[in-house]
Amino acid sequence: MRTCAQMAGRYYYNKLHPGQFLIDLEPLDSQSFDRLADDVHDKKAYYHVNFKAKLLTRNSLPLLFFAELEGTDGPKQVNMCVELSCSGNAHKCS
């Protein structure tokens, strides 16, 4: 779970928002699944992870994120990483 959150955090600041580093990542939940029932040729596994992280400084409030990763032998590629909005702060959303 930590590996997926770390990969998603790197993807967030390398690909989506250069220079906006996510720090103090805290994995919350993860799931993995395959799509073989829908597509017998898709041999990849897919990973969904929710995590909290602070943006730029340790003094900022934690934000809630969702990411999807995929790979044939463990998570290898991040497909998406998005900040989830919630009322209040991320501690109330976990």
Query: For the sheet containing 77-84, what is the strand order?
Result: 22-34, 45-55, 63-71, 77-84
> pLDDT for 1-15, tens place per residue?
689 999 999 999 899
Domains in the chain, number: 1
Q: Tens of pLDDT along 21-71?
A: 999 999 999 999 998 888 899 899 999 999 999 998 889 999 999 999 999
- Which are the contacts of 88, defined by CB distance < 8 A and separation ≥ 6? none
Identity of the residue numbered 17: H
CATH of the domain at 73: 3.10.450
- Which domain, by its residues, includes 49? 2-92
The answer to whether the beta carbons of residues 80 and 68 sit under 8 Å apart is yes
* b/e sequence 29-45, b meaning 16+ C-beta within 10 Å: ebebeeeeeeeeeeebb
At 57-70, the pLDDT tens digits run: 889 999 999 999 99
